[in-house]
Amino acid sequence: MCRAVAIILLALAAGCTTMRDRLSDAQSVREVAHAAANFYVSDGEDDTCVVGVVRGDAGEPVFACAGGASEHSLYRIASLSKLFLAPVLLKLHAEGQIDLDRPVSAYSKLNLPPECARVTLRDLLENRSGLPREFLTPWNPVDMWTAFSCGFVGSNIYADFDERDEFAREMWRSKWRAALREGGNVYSNMGFGLLGMAVEDALGRDLETILAEELTRPRGLADTTYFPQGDQTNRLTRACAGHLPWFVRRRHEVPDHRLGNALRATGGLFSSASDCLTFFRSCWPLVDAYIKDRPLESYPEEAVYGLLRVHVLPNGRRIVYRAGMIYGGASFVGYDPTSRTLVVILRNVTSWPDRRGFDVMERLESVK
């Protein structure tokens, strides 16, 4: 019986087209990008996908679109939002408008616990405040029900602490105060949300205004915003089911949850592949400076690396990347410092952080 089941499973697997299958015949950067985009929509059952690639500091951007999207379609880019905000904060610090080395409590108007006096804005920016990834406790029945129910029906995992007052109340819980006292290098959506609110309080401007004045308007990034409006709404992709929610069929619409004012900084941006490739390309000097101070060779697989993570390719080379997931969006950006290759993948589905972007970057090593 077991042997029969195994044979059936092997037969089913043999009929599946993988990302590697799609990429195996690609012989150029353009072919790799198109093979990847077509895999997601045709074989991965996504709704739409755009892949952007640029090789070398002077290379021309290459875009591949599937499912009726274009390089100017707007996607929910989830945690890639943090990467847009980070250089803005560094610029504001250099200009003296904020001091990243001051405690968050010196700027924030929230009623925060005294432990926040030891946490600086830079600690929050570099994921070393000790705050958890989310305000959910593993194995707490209520929190686990929240997490699993979101996966089944698509409710908002942040509903209980996505406004300023709710967030501040959560910060006073004894376990999070203890986490602040202990510190540590933990990737934290909560920490970045707190950072965004503190910067708004310090400057007296909301994040949308700060981003527009300091980044998107000066650099001509017309597709990047927390609040799509006007023509942007015509290019906004649907919020669709991917791997999640489990009770919703693939490609069917899911609730278009928008992050509230407490967590907008952590993943609330909309952007296009065109804007993302333009912006992330401009960040190479920041990536290079970070690598110079923290050699990649000393970091293991999946190590937190500032706002990025480390991945080791099969040949031993290390790349840095960031993946994002939100209801109606999944995103990936990867930097290969050796080949100077940058890859952006945007999808309008809710899926686990995607690791198939690594297959794309690996294949790009062997094509012209």
Q: What pLDDT digit, counting tens, does each position of 51-67 carry?
A: 999 998 889 999 999 99
At 194-251, the pLDDT tens digits run: 999 999 999 999 999 999 999 999 999 999 999 999 999 999 999 999 999 999 999 9
CATH number of 81-219: 3.40.710.10
- Residue 146's pLDDT is what? 85
- Indicate whether 2 pLDDT > 50: no
The pLDDT-based confidence of 9 (bands split at 50, 70, 90) is: very low
Whether 122 shows a pLDDT value over 90: the answer reads yes
Domain ranges of the chain: 17-80+225-364, 81-219
Angle ∠(196,204,207) on CA atoms, nearest 5: 40
- Could you give the angle at the alpha carbon of 33 between the alpha carbons of 22 and 285, nearest 5°? 135
Q: Do domains 17-80+225-364 and 81-219 have the same CATH topology?
A: yes
Output the pLDDT for position 145.
87
Cα–Cα distance between 142 and 136 in angstroms, integer? 9
Mean pLDDT in residue range 23-33: 95
User: Top-level CATH class of 17-80+225-364?
Assistant: alpha beta
pLDDT in tens, 132-161: 999 988 888 888 888 888 888 888 888 889
CA-closest candidate to residue 281, choices 57, 49, 71, 30 = 57
Spatial CA neighbour of 74 closest among 237, 266, 278, 275? 237
pLDDT of residue 89: 97
- Average pLDDT rounded to a whole number, residues 327-355: 94
d(CA 208, CA 199): 12
Taking residues 289-307, what's their average pLDDT? Answer: 92
Query: pLDDT category, 268, cuts 50, 70, 90?
Result: very high
Please tell me the distance from the alpha carbon of residue 126 to that of residue 9, in angstroms, as a whole number.
Answer: 44
